[in-house]
Each structure stands twice: as structure tokens, then as C-alpha cells.
Amino acid sequence: MSAAPNRRPFDAGRAAYLALNALLLAFLLLPIAIVLVFALNPTPYISFPPVGVSLRWFEKFFGSSEFMNALWLSLWVASVVLVLSIVIGAACALALARGNLPGRAVLTAFFMSPLMVPAILTGLALFQAYLLSGIGRPVWGLIAAHTLVAVPYVIRTTLAVLHNFDRRIEEAAAVLGASPTRVFFEVTLPLIRPGVFAGGVFAFIVSFDQFPVSLFLVVPKGETLPVVLFNYMKFDLDGAIAAASMVSILLALSVVLVLERLIGLKAYVKL
């Protein structure tokens, strides 16, 4: 594929290949662009082509107490989940990588398994457990559920960093007289920080956009933003949903940029 000396001026096969891929990229990105168009469209129903630019849907979204309560609940839950899953996930990753635990592969697979089990079943199982134990549906139950599905992301990104870094740096610090505690706080922790942060960003997004796990665990009037949007969309498809979607998308995009800055996206591609 490197520029061959006898390269022909026009390569139909190559052009078709590039055109096909451009088309597929458009398929991935256009729907999201269209949401932006509808968020700024002033007509009361979804209409195409757009007839102007207005912020009325953003006003409706930010002016509705139902949406705002849900947005704040989602942000609050996601923030708590972020902190909890960073602490729990990073500790777990350190134990898996450095603890000389027997059956490490099995344990790692176990801690990844919430990603393998259908999320709606995690929600159902927790709903049943809360029902049987008479806990009801408190917010901490929702936070625990989100933490459970967020922790694997932190474990994965932290493990990726731990596998890549040179253990001799820690050994050198120990040889030079640092105590194990000091080695941990001054060498290991700063080195794994990008992985932990990246995992935390995923944890936040996973919680903020979480639907299937939340579905059975929220109470009426105490619903998270995705659940409120879902219920609204069953009956109404106006621009307020588009505006709410834009707010979520902007949040996600800023997160992608933060990620790129922190570790580079490549580290994440190891699915």
C-alpha cells in the first residue's frame, strides 16, 4: 500500500474502497449531526428540512423541572459512581496485578463479568434482591448497581497501565531506601493515575448514560435522565429530546477529548 513507483494516476478500486468507507463513516456520524439540527429547529414537531435556528428547545429542557431534576440526579449519581468505582476498581486492579493471587485469570474474568451479562438482567436481579430483602428502591441501591457495572472499566484501564509499566522503577525506589508505602504513593500511584482516570471517565459515562440497569431500580419522580427521556419519547418526539440529547452528546465529546489528552485513545482500543 506504500506508494509504489508504478502507481497509476487513477485507481478505481481504491477510489471505490475509500468512497465506501466515507459512506460508512457518514452512517455512523450523520444521525448524531441530525439531532443537532433538530435541537436548533424552531418548529414544534420534527420537521425537515430545518426552517431556522432557535434555542427554544434548550429553554424548554433547562426550564422543565422534570428534566432538570433528572439531569441533576443523573449527574449526582454519576459523580458518586465515578469516585466509588475509581477507588474500588484501582484497588482491585492492583491486587490482581501485584497480589500474587492464586487463580488470577479466573478472578479477572469474574470482575469483568458484569460487562458480559446482559445489563437488563443485572437490573432485574438487583430489583428482585432489593424486593426480597425489603430494601425498596433507594438511591444508594441505584448507585451500587451503577458502580457494579462501572468498576470493570476502571479495572481494565488500570490493568492495561500496570501491564505496560516497568516494574524496575518500583524496585529501584525500594533499593534506594523507600519504604513500601512510600514506593506506592510516590511511584506506583502517579504511574497508574492516567489509567485510573481514564477508567473513571468511562465509569462516569456508563453511569450517566445508563438505562437497562436503572430501568427497574428507579422510583417515579426519582428517575435518571435516560429513563425520563425514554418515557417522554414514548409519547412525544419534540425538540426538547433533541436538546437533551445534545447536552449528553456534548458531555460525551468533552469526555473523549479529556481521554485523548490523558492516555491517547489507542490504549482503549484493546476491547
Q: Quick check: 213 binds another protein (CB under 8 A)?
A: no
Give the shortest CB-120-to-another protein separation in angstroms.
5
Q: Quick check: 198 binds another protein (CB under 8 A)?
A: no
Cα 150 from chain centroid (whole Å): 8
| Size of site (CB under 8 A) for another protein | 94
Q: Quick check: 128 binds another protein (CB under 8 A)?
A: yes
- The residues in 87-106 that bind another protein, with binding defined as CB under 8 A, are 87-89, 91-92, 94-96, 98-102
Q: How far is CA 10 from CA 18, 73, 209, 235, in A?
A: 13, 56, 46, 52
φ, ψ for residue 121, nearest 5 deg: -75, -35
* 194 vs 232 by CB, closer to another protein: 232
Give the shortest CB-191-to-another protein separation in angstroms.
15
* 161 vs 244 by CB, closer to another protein: 244
Q: Quick check: 173 binds another protein (CB under 8 A)?
A: no
Find the binder of another protein among 5, 31, 52, 220 (CB under 8 A): 31
Rounded Cα distance, 252 and 123, in Å: 23
- Report the alpha-carbon angle 147-215-198, nearest 5: 30
Q: Quick check: 55 binds another protein (CB under 8 A)?
A: no
Does residue 49 have a cis peptide bond before it, meaning omega lies within 30 degrees of 0? yes
Rounded Cα distance, 148 and 8, in Å: 56
